[in-house]
Structure formats: C-alpha cells, structure tokens
Amino acid sequence: MTGMLLAPRTTSDTFVSAARAAGVPAGHDAARADRERRLSADVVEALVEAGFSRALVPALHGGEPTDFATLTEAVAAVGEGCASAAWIGSLLAYTARFAAYLPAEGQAEIWADGPDSRLVSSLVSTATTVEAADSGWHLSGSWTYASGVEFSDWALVMAVVPGADDRPQARFFAVPRSAYRIEETWDTVGMRATGSHTLVLDEVLVPAHRTFPMDDMFAGRGAVSDELRHSQPLFAVNGLTFAAPVLGSARGALELSARALADKAARGTEPSETQRIAHARAAGEIDAAGLLLTRAAQSVDRAPATDDVLVRNRRDCALATRLLVGAVDTLFRSGGTRSQSSSDPLQRVWRDVNSAASHMVLQFEPAALAFTRGPLDAARAEKRA
C-alpha cells in the first residue's frame, strides 16, 4: 500500500490527463507485460498516482468527486496503450465503490492510511466454507479471477452464509493482504497481464464490521456514503467497468491501423480501397460504441437509475462491446499477414479485446432478455386485465 496522499483534482479533464500520462508507460511496457503475464510495479504505481484507486472512494475517506463519465474516459485513455493496465485501473476504482457498502468501522480500517488502498474482488469461489463465530465468521476457500491480486492491499470476496430462517445469504467479506495467499493460475490467450490469479483463505476470522450483504450492493442501498455514485444499482454501472478498457483498446487498434495506412502511403504504396473502407467502418463503430458508453455513464451521473435506465445501460454496454470487437476484428483482418506477426502490436490488441469481451457482464444475450422483460410483462398484465 502506498499510503500516498495526492493533491485533490478540481476538474474531470485533469483526471483524464493524468490517466493518459499513466497510459504512456503502460503502453511502452505492454509487450513485455503480455509476454511475462504481469504488469510492472511501476505501471501499477502510475495508475494509483493517476487517481484510479481513489476515484470512487467516499469523500469521507478522501475520495475525489469523480463521475462515471470521467472514469470511463480515464480508463479508456489507459486502454489505448495497454488493455490489461486499463482493466486493473478500472477495477481499482470500482472495487473501492463496493467497499462503500461496508459498515463505517470496516471502511475506516480499509482507508486508515488514506484513499489509495488497492482493493480487488472476486465473486467466483470453489470449496468455500463459512462458520459463524461470536464476532463474525471463519472463512476458508479459493476465489478465482481476482484481477490485480498481486498488487492488492485488501480483497473483497463473496461467500454464502445462513440468513434469516436459515435461508442462504450471499455476503461480501473484506480481508487484508496478510490474510490470503495467491496461487498463480492465470495463463490465457488475451488480457494476460491482468494477473487474475486465485486468492486462497485458510480459516480466516472476518469480523462482522468487515462484511455486508451482496444484495445491498446489487440494489445500491445501505452505503454509508450518501453520494449518488454509491447508491446506483450494480447492473446500472458494472458494464462500464469492463467495457471501458475495451473501448480504449479499440481506439488504440484504430491508431495502429492509421499508422499502417500512412506508412504504406509514405513508401509510395497506395493502401487498397478495401483497407481504407475497413478503417473507416471500424472508426465509425468505435465512435458509436463510445457514444453508447458515454450515455450510459452520464445517465447514472445525473440521477438515480430507474429500472428502464438499468436495463438500457446493461444492453448498451454489451452492445458497445460487440461493436468494438467487430471493429477490431475488421482492422486485424485488413492488416493481413502483417497483423498476425508476433511482433505486431495489433495481434495483441485483437487477443485482448476478444478475451475481455468474453466477460459474463458483457454478454449481449442476457442483457437483451432483461431489456425486453419489462415490456413483455406489461403486455401480459394488460392482456390479463
């Protein structure tokens, strides 16, 4: 944990500029990070210094008044150079938002040294056991896909405990870095440097003030903070968490394509019409995806999300991701054999974008079904009446 207290920012442009600056070393290091499957400590530190870890921390604990639209652009700015770094930056911010649902005493522990604690989370567990204790719960198990766990100070993990009338209740538990070990299990085709390894707990006592019901976070209720950004339902905002790195990476791919076209022209070889058309189509699709994500972010910056906004945002984040994947696929194919070279950065972007888009939050089909459920239920109710 850095413990570093940074000077407060006063404008959204400053945060995006700081993120873009952090994206420069991330971009320079992207090939090595992909090859060695981990971000450098310097890149992670640059993300923290840019303000990602504090972006959604409650103001009570030194967080900054960052809105979702600004955060989306900041994440995308890093993603232009390195998708994995953008992914970690995004999760540093959004996992801190999760911690806003902890009781006040738990929040005070996490941010005791300032708002730059590095938080990670995982909802996917195996062989988990939870036993009630006088002061909380004893927790054991393994949690997979804990992106950024190598650099974390705290982790939030989900486990199921008996609730009222012995009905199961999913809860999040906050555990410090000293309480968990890491098993290196992340070795994938794309997003290789996110370090999404497995977190393991062995009989760890988690006090009651470091846990909260998962349903509270999903519904956007129970946060100690009264800030609007902490009272939005999860599905109104979590598509932005994972779509923003894809947006940045697609913009990076477009820049690589533009350079390739310019290089051809500089060598006296006119780019083919097919390549130019592919570039133009991809540029339009990336712009369209950016507009969808901007609307989604702005809608939850302005007012509490209604059910209509929630399902629309979920749809739009998934649809934007499909547009971005299609755009990068087009650019990759139009690059021909050159793009498939292991030394060409476009193949890394192509792998990253396709890998990131496989995240369950970004799947279009369940988002589409949720979007149409309301009108169909209303039509059925009207028919019955």
CATH code assigned at 178: 2.40.110.10
Q: What b/e string do you get for 196-216 counting C-beta neighbours within 10 Å, with b at 16 or more?
A: bbbbbbeebebbebbbbbbeb
239 and 374 both lie in a single domain: yes
Residue 153 has pLDDT above 50, yes or no: yes
104 and 153 both lie in a single domain: no
Domain end, chosen from 110, 143, 171, is at 110
> Which is it for the CA torsion 209, 215, 221, 227, positive or negative?
positive
CATH code assigned at 334: 1.20.140.10
CA-to-CA distance for 55 and 14, rounded, in angstroms? 12
If one counts every other C-beta atom within 10 angstroms of the C-beta of residue 17, the result is 15
Q: What is the per-residue pLDDT across 169-181, written as a single tens digit (0 to 9) for each?
A: 899 999 999 999 9
129 and 75 both lie in a single domain: no
What is residue 338's predicted lDDT score, i.e. its pLDDT? 85
In this structure, of 4-18, 42-56, 226-240, 355-369, the range with the lowest mean pLDDT score is 4-18
Read off the pLDDT of each residue in 110-124 and give the average, rounded to a whole number: 95
CA distances from 51 to 96, 209, 250, 383, 385 (A): 12, 27, 23, 52, 54
Number of structural domains in the chain: 3
Domain end, chosen from 213, 248, 275, is at 213
Residue 5 has pLDDT above 50, yes or no: no
185 and 93 both lie in a single domain: no
In this structure, of 48-52, 258-262, 308-312, the range with the lowest mean pLDDT score is 258-262
Residue with tokens 């533009």: 258
pTM: 0.93
CA distances from 374 to 96, 134, 362, 371, 377 (A): 31, 44, 20, 7, 5
**Which residue, among 206, 200, 202, has the nearest Cα to 133 in the 3D structure?**
206
Q: Residue length, the chain?
A: 385
In a domain, 225, yes or no: no
In a domain, 161, yes or no: yes
CA-to-CA distance for 251 and 98, rounded, in angstroms? 29
177 and 318 both lie in a single domain: no
In a domain, 227, yes or no: no
In a domain, 224, yes or no: no
194 and 252 both lie in a single domain: no
CATH code assigned at 97: 1.10.540.10
87 and 175 both lie in a single domain: no
253 and 348 both lie in a single domain: yes
Domain end, chosen from 213, 241, 261, is at 213
Encoded tokens for 150:
């190598």
In a domain, 263, yes or no: yes
In a domain, 2, yes or no: no
Full domain range(s) for residue 196: 119-213
CA-to-CA distance for 46 and 79, rounded, in angstroms? 14
What is residue 265's predicted lDDT score, i.e. its pLDDT? 86
338 and 375 both lie in a single domain: yes
Task: List, edge to edge, every strand of the sheet that includes 211-213.
Answer: 119-122, 154-162, 168-176, 211-213
173 and 259 both lie in a single domain: no
315 and 358 both lie in a single domain: yes
**Which residue, among 194, 200, 285, 281, has the nearest Cα to 242 in the 3D structure?**
194
89 and 166 both lie in a single domain: no
In a domain, 220, yes or no: no
In a domain, 156, yes or no: yes
Confidence category of residue 219, pLDDT binned at 50, 70, 90: very high
